[in-house]
Amino acid sequence: MRIKRSTLTRLFFVLSFTSFLAPPAFGQLGIGDPLEFRAYRDREFRDPERSPLETWEVSRFRGLNYFNINPAFKVRAAFARTPNEKKFNMPTSSGTTKVYVKYGTLSFRLGDYPYVLSVYQSGALSQTDEYKDYLLIPFTDTTNGKETYGGGRYIDFAIPASEIVTLDFNLAYNPSCAYSSRYNCPIPPRENRLKAEIRAGEKTYRSHGKSRSN
């Protein structure tokens, strides 16, 4: 599935107001050039009308922090649909919930170890024609609260056309609530807590020597 860049821009606005996501990568969601994705995010953060930063921080923004791009964290994964899952209320950072359904799982290996991540579909977005194929991978790993945002990170995804897909942790990013308390971010479910060190993707945001780690 290919998604136009103009559609991705509209998606960013929609998801910003639903308070949990950053702009997805160009091309197919979850698959793209990490450098291009990072440049796009930096442009959005510098735009006062789109930035998730507090108003006073926008003019001082100097770029997000990332691990070096590491091809070892771009892996092949086996996608398995989970068609009989029921919708559930996913807890969020504000103490409220958002309706999701577990759409499938991704099985992959990092080094010598196997892992599984669940992929979720938003109940609200699934009812729209434009965003019905959008999926979310919220996860935590052992870098959270140290090198990366304590609340976990996300990877955007799309309903795949095959059972073998690419999972690129270099595209992992912080939810909007890492930058402002006005956002309402889903908390990664327990089943997506990886016992692995994912030193790829976005790191903890630092503003004038201060970091947002919670």
Q: Tens digits of per-residue pLDDT, 125-183?
A: 888 888 888 999 999 999 999 999 999 999 999 999 899 999 999 999 999 999 988 88
**pTM for this structure?**
0.83
Query: What confidence score (pLDDT) does residue 67 get?
Result: 98
> Which range is least confidently modeled, 1-10, 112-121, 191-200?
1-10
Greater confidence (64 vs 28) lies with 64
The amino acid at 211: S
pLDDT at 15 over 50: no
Helix (H, G, I), strand (E, B) or coil at 27: coil
pLDDT at 20 over 50: no
**Mean pLDDT, residues 110-114:** 95
Residue pair 107/116 in contact (Cβ under 8 Å)? The answer is yes
CA distances from 47 to 9, 21, 142, 185 (A): 13, 16, 32, 21
